[in-house]
């Protein structure tokens, strides 16, 4: 009796987590420096389909909604889901809940690639390509230096990640040095992690890439359980470990690079969200991966709404997630010390 | 299914494992014994294709293990590690379910049938009521049983167990070995296990393989090879076998 009750409660929680991003999405549409009341929101949406109804809706509402808010919210959801799923997958692969795309140097590699592309190839060339290329280079460098297979300790992974990130930051400074003042300003804002500049054009390339990456990792979710047993055990269970490893790193890098190329570095989402999800539903990746996608989307929507709601200045969201994420990371690191170092 | 090893070589740093020929007959239990560092675990891991052998062939019936795909091999041979340390604390049933990896398509999740098989395996080792607990809250004896259940869910004919009784008290040691015997008798598995307890090895296995310094010193029917001079030579110490009501006790 209590078992089924517990199951029911668990099921409800899962449904809630899955529906939450949609709920937040609708609410967020009305929030911002240009507030739109719920009635006007519905009115704007309906009047777009049949212009004769709701004649009193100011046309500026439609511009705010469709040109600014809608792409921004979609991007927030996609980026949140992408970063959270990339983090959760990498954690399973490295059988270590502290690993994330930021630690592995993927974020800084992607940021350098995107900046390089923006400065030297211009805004018309999609920055995702270079972001992906350098993100892959960064993660490969980290893995090669940190050691192979079972012998890889968290401490060497962390150290190598820090060093590789520092290297790409230096390269990034070099790019900034060569950038014109006008480009530099945009670059600076973008690097802090910001959804403010998002438009449909940014979405057009990153959105499909993110959806594809999410889809494959969600389909791969149970294999992640098996891979998290460690290479030897996974192999004896019948998994082609090398192939799995390459696939997961490729997809996680694709997700991170696609996100970073348009919004800059939004760090620590891949750490905070999977941890929250595991606290709620346990460690089974069959639940953790899809629910991380949903919760990641909710998390960034919420963070973005808070930012837009509280001040007209719009603090970059990357600063916000770092302020939240780094203390959490330190706390977990301290807690985990005996197990992984 | 029988296992045949021919001309196996495995080298790691300055340790070399050399096995010219070994045959493990179908449906029989074989203990691999020998001092620490003799290469017992290494031999087991080579057989499970967890370690890559540098030379030689491993046949399961007429199939060359090296030519099989990962999932094909895992359907024939399963390996039970000494212990499992994971950063993630899975539910016991989810843990056992991973034994189905060789049957679940790459981009898919286990089916109802897979779950049923995992539940049966857990039932077989006597932990049916533990499905909803987490691995971390189990005792070390229960963990061994869960690891065996996972291998059981793999439904392979050949079962490799790496020191399944280390760190267990005498009662749990017997419980695990009784289970191993039940697997051999009820499920007709070909079982290879490494053991340190010589009396248990003699009592629970049909055949024995004696390893020392990476080489096979003797192998054959347990009661035929289990002799005082061999034990002395293997362990470099005085050892005496005493017959006690038909049971052999090793004095050392």
Rg (chain B; Cα; Å)? 18
Q: How many residues does chain A have?
A: 341
Q: Which of residues 113-172 of B touch A (CB under 8 A)?
A: 132, 150, 154
Question: Is this prediction's ipTM beyond 0.95?
Answer: no
Percent of chain A with pLDDT over 70: 96
Q: Is the pLDDT of residue B244 over 60?
A: yes
B80: part of which helix (H) or strand (E)? strand B77-80
Better-predicted residue by pLDDT, A251 or A121: A251
List the CATH number of the domain containing B149.
3.40.50.300
Residues of B in contact with A95 (CB under 8 A): 86-88
Residues of A in contact with B108 (CB under 8 A): 219, 222
pLDDT interval class at A149 (50, 70, 90): low
pLDDT of residue B235: 93
Looking at residues B7-20, what average pLDDT do you find?
Answer: 90
User: Is the separation of the CB atoms in B217 and B211 below 8 Å?
Assistant: yes
pLDDT of residue B128: 95
User: Is the separation of the CB atoms in A268 and A329 below 8 Å?
Assistant: yes
Specify the CATH number of the domain A9-33+70-340.
1.10.3470.10
pLDDT of residue A148: 63
Cβ–Cβ gap B87/A228 under 8 Å: yes
What is the distance between the alpha carbons of residues B65 and A207, in angstroms, rounded to a whole number?
44
For residue range A223-256, what is the model confidence (pLDDT) as tens digits? 999 999 988 999 999 999 999 999 999 999 999 9
For residue range B43-70, what is the model confidence (pLDDT) as tens digits? 999 998 888 888 888 989 888 988 999 9
pLDDT of residue A152: 64
User: Where in chain A are the domains?
Assistant: 9-33+70-340
For residue range B106-159, what is the model confidence (pLDDT) as tens digits? 999 999 999 999 999 999 999 999 999 999 999 989 999 999 999 999 999 999
Residue B141's domain spans which residues?
A: 3-251
Could you say which of A238, A284, A339 has the minimum Cβ distance to residue B74? A238
A305 HSE (CA, 13 A, CB side): 21
pLDDT of residue A341: 40
What is the distance between the alpha carbons of residues B141 and B151, in angstroms, rounded to a whole number?
16
Q: Is the pLDDT of residue A1 over 70?
A: no
Residues of A in contact with B87 (CB under 8 A): 95-97, 228, 339-340
CB pairs under 8 A between A and B: 83
Residues of B in contact with A7 (CB under 8 A): none
Q: Is the pLDDT of residue B241 over 80?
A: yes
Cβ–Cβ gap B107/A226 under 8 Å: no
Q: Which of A58, A72, A62, A86 is nearest to A255 (CA)?
A: A86
What is the distance between the alpha carbons of residues A301 and A306, in angstroms, rounded to a whole number?
9
Q: SS3 for B11? A: strand
Residues of B in contact with A283 (CB under 8 A): 88-90, 94
Cβ–Cβ gap A237/B69 under 8 Å: no
Interface test mutation site (partner B, options A93, A222, A248, max chain B beta carbons within 10 A): A222
What is the distance between the alpha carbons of residues B219 and B209, in angstroms, rounded to a whole number?
4
């Amino acid at each position: 009796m209590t078992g089924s009750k517990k199951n029911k409660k668990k099921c409800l929680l899962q449904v809630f987590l899955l529906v939450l991003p949609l709920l937040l999405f609708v609410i967020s549409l009305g929030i911002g420096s240009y507030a739109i009341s719920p009635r006007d929101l519905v009115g704007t949406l309906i009047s777009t389909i049949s212009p004769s109804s709701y004649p009193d809706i100011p046309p500026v509402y439609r511009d705010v909604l469709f040109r600014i808010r809608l792409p921004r919210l979609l991007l927030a959801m996609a980026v949140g889901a992408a970063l959270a799923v990339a983090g959760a997958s990498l954690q399973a692969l490295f059988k270590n809940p502290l690993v994330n795309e930021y630690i592995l140097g993927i974020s800084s590699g992607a940021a350098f690639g995107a900046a390089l592309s923006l400065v030297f190839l211009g805004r018309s060339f999609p920055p995702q390509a270079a972001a992906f290329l350098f993100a892959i280079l960064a993660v490969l460098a980290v893995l090669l230096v940190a050691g192979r297979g079972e012998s890889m300790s968290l401490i060497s992974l962390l150290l190598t990640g820090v060093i590789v990130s520092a290297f790409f930051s230096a390269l990034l400074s070099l790019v900034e040095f060569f950038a014109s003042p006008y480009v530099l300003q945009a670059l600076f804002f973008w690097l802090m992690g910001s959804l403010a500049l998002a438009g449909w054009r940014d979405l057009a390339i990153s959105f499909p890439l993110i959806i594809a990456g999410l889809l494959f990792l969600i389909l791969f979710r149970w294999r992640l359980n098996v891979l998290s047993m460690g290479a030897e055990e996974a192999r004896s269970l019948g998994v082609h470990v090398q192939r799995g490893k390459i696939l997961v790193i490729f997809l996680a890098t694709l997700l991170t690079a696609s996100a970073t190329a348009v919004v800059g570095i939004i760090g620590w989402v891949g750490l905070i969200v999977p941890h929250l999800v595991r606290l709620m539903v346990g460690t089974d990746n069959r639940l953790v991966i899809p629910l991380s996608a949903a919760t990641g989307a909710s998390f960034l929507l919420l963070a973005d709404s808070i930012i837009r709601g509280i001040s007209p200045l719009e603090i970059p969201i990357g600063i916000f997630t770092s302020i939240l994420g780094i203390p959490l990371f330190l706390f977990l690191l301290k807690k985990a010390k005996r197990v992984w170092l | 299914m029988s296992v045949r090893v021919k001309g196996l070589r495995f080298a790691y740093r300055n340790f070399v494992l050399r096995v010219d020929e070994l045959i493990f007959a179908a449906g029989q239990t074989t203990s691999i014994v020998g001092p620490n560092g003799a290469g017992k675990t290494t031999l087991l891991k080579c057989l499970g294709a967890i370690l890559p052998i540098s030379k030689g062939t491993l046949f399961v019936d007429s199939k060359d293990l090296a030519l099989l795909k990962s999932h094909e091999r895992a359907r024939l041979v399963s390996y039970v590690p000494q212990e499992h340390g994971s950063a993630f604390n899975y539910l016991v049933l989810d843990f056992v379910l991973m034994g189905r990896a060789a049957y679940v398509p790459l981009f898919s999740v286990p089916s109802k049938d897979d779950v049923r098989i995992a539940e049966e395996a857990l039932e077989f080792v006597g932990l049916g009521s533990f499905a909803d607990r987490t691995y971390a809250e189990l005792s070390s004896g229960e963990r061994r049983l869960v690891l065996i259940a996972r291998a059981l869910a793999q439904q392979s004919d050949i079962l490799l167990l790496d020191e399944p009784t280390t760190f267990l008290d005498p009662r749990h040691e017997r419980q695990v070995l009784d289970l191993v015997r039940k697997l051999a008798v009820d499920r007709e598995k070909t079982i290879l296990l490494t053991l340190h307890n010589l009396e248990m090895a003699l009592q629970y296995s049909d055949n024995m393989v004696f390893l020392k310094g990476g080489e096979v010193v003797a192998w054959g029917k347990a009661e035929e090879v289990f002799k005082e001079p061999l034990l002395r030579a293997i362990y470099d110490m005085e050892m005496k076998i005493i017959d006690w009501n038909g049971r052999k006790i090793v004095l050392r």
